[in-house]
Amino acid sequence: MSVSKAEIGRRMRRFTETCRASGLKLTHQRMEVFRELAGTEDHPDAETIYKSVSRRVPAISRDTVYRTLATLEEEGLVRKAEILANRGRYDANMDRHHHFVCTECGLVRDFYSEALDELPIPKSIGTLGRVESTHVQLRGICSSCARGKR
Give residues in contact with Zn ion (CB under 5 A): 91, 93, 102, 104-105, 107, 110, 142, 145
Q: Between 57 and 145, whose beta carbon lies closer to Zn ion?
A: 145
Q: Between 75 and 104, whose beta carbon lies closer to Zn ion?
A: 104
Q: Between 57 and 136, whose beta carbon lies closer to Zn ion?
A: 136
Instruction: Give start and end residues of each alpha helix (H) in 3-149.
Output: 5-22, 28-38, 46-56, 62-74, 114-117, 143-149
Q: CB 72 → Zn ion: shortest distance, Å?
A: 15
Q: CB 11 → Zn ion: shortest distance, Å?
A: 12
Rounded alpha-carbon distances, angstroms, from residue 78 to 33, 36, 48, 89, 130? 11, 12, 15, 10, 22
Q: CB 146 → Zn ion: shortest distance, Å?
A: 8
User: Cα separation of 7 and 49, whole Å?
Assistant: 19
The one-letter amino acid at 55 = R
